[in-house]
Amino acid sequence: MSIQWFPGHMHLTRKAITERIKEIDVVIEMLDARLPGSSANPLLAELTASRPALKVVNKQDMADPLRTALWLAHYNAQPNTRAISLDASETSPARAIIAACHELAPLRGGMVKPMRVLICGIPNVGKSTLINTLKGKRAAKTGDEAGVTRTESRIALADDFYLYDTPGMLWPRIVVPESGYNLAASGAVGKNAYDEQEVALELMDKIKRVYGVELEARYKLGMTPEAIAETKDEDLLEAVGRKRSALTSGGRVDPQKCAEILIGDFRTNAIGRLTLETPEEFAVWLKAGHSA
């Protein structure tokens, strides 16, 4: 695996979550809809296993709706778990969140037993954006660098409903190589942790299999989706670079520029609404990773 990602201070987060969870009724885990499995941190599942879970599949506006539906069905089939999808344009996400939490913890609510919810998610998943929307003002700091430190805060969504921000940083954990590549492509791990050309090749490999039509529409390669799916990743990346005049001073296609174009276009949705993994694929990766 070539993603070199060794975030520190996870032991502090572990300790803080273990302490906080005692007073929590429901744990919300925010996930990136373009890579739900990879953007989940298994440490969180481990630390919060005793509590019902609400999976908030965020950035749905950037993801493939068919695949988002697959992920929601996957999570909703798990015991003690509900899943909803959201995006930043949602003006009143509180209603869906409150309703799902009441389903998960029906005995909580009212002034005597207010609902206490912990909201967690790896950096860049959109937690600050959601918290800001919920609070209706800039309560949490929104930052574009993975790892902007913030302090824990409590938000009252209703008189009897409290939302607690994660104590500490919940860094992404790379459990299998595919997760690492998808996290890197999404921008969830620091730039110096990976090789962009390698990440771009892996990204191309995932995109070409399912999103040939979108790839053709974006880059005008003059290829059918079938031909795209059968072409080698490096050749496709080079074709993209040629189309976009990503050349070195000597006139050759510059592999670094090609990589930056593809990754940049993925992050800004310029290719379309793409999701890099399905629940089924993710399960296969995990299985292969554990038996390796």
Interface positions, 131-150, toward ligand G4P (CB under 6 A): 142-144
Rounded to a whole number of angstroms, the minimum distance from the CB of residue 186 to ligand G4P is 10
According to the binding rule CB under 6 A, does residue 126 interact with ligand G4P? yes
Least distance (Å) between residue 34 CB and ligand G4P: 10
Question: Among 20, 34, 55, 59, which residue sits at the site for ligand G4P (rule: CB under 6 A)?
Answer: 59
Residue 87 touches ligand G4P, criterion: CB under 6 A: yes
Please report, for residues 2, 78, 162, 261, the alpha-carbon distance to residue 52 in angstroms, rounded to integers and kept in the order given: 35, 10, 16, 41
Nearest Cα neighbor of 35 from 259, 261, 274, 286 is: 274
Q: Which of 38, 68, 85, 128 binds ligand G4P (CB under 6 A)?
A: 128
By the 8 A CB rule, do 107 and 117 touch?
A: no
Name the minimum Å distance from CB 124 to ligand G4P.
Answer: 5
C-alpha angle with apex 271: 267 to 276, nearest 5 degrees? 65
Q: Nearer Cβ to ligand G4P, position 141 or 252?
A: 141
Nearer to ligand G4P, 89 or 245 (CB): 89
Closest to ligand G4P by CB, 208 vs 218, is 218
Q: How far apart are CA 104 and CA 127, in angstroms?
A: 21
3 state SS for 137-160: CCCCCCCCCCCCCCCCCEEEEECC
Q: Does residue 88 interact with ligand G4P by CB under 6 A? A: yes
The answer to whether the CB of 285 falls within 8 A of the CB of 178 is yes
Residue from 17, 28, 97, 125 binding ligand G4P (CB under 6 A)? 125
By CB under 6 A, residue 159 contacts ligand G4P: no
To the question of whether residue 127 is assigned a binding role by annotation, the answer is yes
Phi, psi angles (nearest 5°) of residue 210: -120, -30
129 interacts with ligand G4P by CB under 6 A: yes
Sign of CA dihedral 242, 246, 250, 253: negative
Contact between 65 and ligand G4P by CB under 6 A: the answer reads no
Amino acid at site 146: A
Report the nearest approach of ligand G4P to the CB of residue 274 (Å). 13
**Tokens, residue 28:** 């919300």
Q: Has 2 been labeled as part of a binding site?
A: no
Q: Smaller CB distance to ligand G4P: residue 81 or 142?
A: 142
Q: Decide if residue 205 touches ligand G4P (CB under 6 A).
A: no
Q: How far, in Å, CA of 210 to CA of 201, rounded?
A: 15
Nearer to ligand G4P, 237 or 274 (CB): 274
The nearer residue to ligand G4P, 128 or 278, going by C-beta atoms, is: 128
Q: How many CB atoms lie within 10 A of CB 18?
A: 12
Determine contact, residues 25/117, Cβ cutoff 8 Å.
yes
Residues of this chain that interact with ligand G4P (CB under 6 A) are 58-59, 61-62, 87-88, 121, 123-129, 142-144
Binding site residue list for GTP = 58-61, 124-129, 168
